[in-house]
Amino acid sequence: MQITGTHIAYLHTCHRKLWLFANGIQMEHTSDTVSEGKLIADTTYLDRSRKYTELAIDGIKIDFYDAKDKVIHEVKKSDKVEHAHIAQVKYYMYVLSRNGIDEPEAILEYPKLKQRDIVHWDDDVILLGRQWEHEADKIISQENCPPLIKKGICKNCSYFDLCYIDEE
């Protein structure tokens, strides 16, 4: 299976969500939170599509890529799982470097928070990218879904109803 940025973000958020998503159980279309995030991405930075290009390569899709300065722009609704957002853009950086783009950088943008975080290239990106691909592939290829691990972010997850169906 080709690993995507979504797989890497889910690897850093919830192994159960990663397994379900990768094995064809996709709940994002039923989530108000996901819909709100897409709306923010679609209605913020409207001039971007004229300045930057969309880039799809090796299973990843970068909505806004500044080819001149080698900068990935990733728009997010909230910084609640910022560690997963950082991992996702570092994975994008890894894929770009694997395809001959030297030392790309990324900007995580949280328009609702009026916040921007720059993710700089470092030599660990290649090692981490390979490691994350291996870890994600290992989880995805398991015969059974990983067990539920209750986290504070679960209540806003698109898989909440599925994971907590047996809970009182």
Per the domain annotation, does 167 fall within a domain?
no
> What pTM was estimated for this model as a whole?
0.87
- C-alpha of 119 from chain center: 14
Residue holding tokens 């973000």?
9
Per the domain annotation, does 166 fall within a domain?
no
Mean pLDDT computed over 37-56: 65
CATH number for the domain spanning 140: value is 3.90.320.10
Tens digits of residue pLDDT in 54-112: 899 999 999 899 999 999 999 888 888 999 999 999 999 999 999 999 999 999 999 88
How far is 37 from 155, CA to CA, in rounded Å? Answer: 16
Per the domain annotation, does 109 fall within a domain?
yes
How far is 138 from 24, CA to CA, in rounded Å? Answer: 16
Q: What is the pLDDT of residue 46?
A: 58
Per the domain annotation, does 18 fall within a domain?
yes
Q: What is the pLDDT of residue 43?
A: 58
DSSP for 69-116 reads TTEEEEE-S-STTHHHHHHHHHHHHHHHHHTT--S-EEEEEEGGGTEE
Q: What is the pLDDT of residue 26?
A: 82
Per the domain annotation, does 165 fall within a domain?
no
Domain that holds residue 81: 5-156
Per the domain annotation, does 129 fall within a domain?
yes
Q: What is the pLDDT of residue 28?
A: 61
Mean pLDDT computed over 6-11: 96
Domain count along the chain = 1
Per the domain annotation, does 163 fall within a domain?
no
Q: Which region among 43-47, 57-61, 72-76, 143-147 has the lowest average model confidence (pLDDT)?
A: 43-47
